[in-house]
Amino acid sequence: MAKDKIEQLADQLINLSPQESEQLAIVIKAKMMPEVERQKALLEEQANSQTSQMAQRQPMPMQPPTARDVAMRGLLR
C-alpha cells in the first residue's frame, strides 16, 4: 500500500514541468528553513562554548621544587 503511494509520488515528481519543479524546490526550501536555522544555532552554540572553554585559563599543576629551587631559596634567606 505505502509502496504504491511512494511509486505514484515518484512518478508525479518525475513528470513535473520545469516550472513546477522550480515551485517545488522553493516550497521544500521554505519548509526546511526552520530546521536549517535550528541546526545553525546549535552549531554556533557549540562553537561558542568550545571557544569559551579554550579561552579560560587552565590551572597549572604545582610541580615539586627542584634541587636548584631549594638551593636558591636557601641562598635568598
Has residue 3 been placed in a domain? no
Query: Into how many domains does the chain fold?
Result: 1
Does residue 49 sit within a domain? Answer: yes
What pLDDT, on the 0 to 100 scale, is given for residue 27? Answer: 92
Residue 33 in domain = yes
pLDDT surpasses 70 at 56: no
* Inside any domain, residue 13: no
pLDDT tens digits, 22-33: 999 999 988 888
Residue with C-alpha cell 562554548?
A: 49
Instruction: Give the global pTM.
Output: 0.46
Alpha carbon distance 7, 27 (integer Å): 21
Please give the grid coordinates belonging to residue 53. 572553554
Residue 28 lies in a domain: yes
Whether the CA torsion 44, 46, 49, 51 is positive or negative: it is: negative
Q: For the chain, report the end-to-end CA distance as a whole number of angstroms.
A: 92
In a domain, 16, yes or no: no
Residue 37 domain boundaries: 23-53
Which set of grid coordinates corresponds to residue 12? 508525479
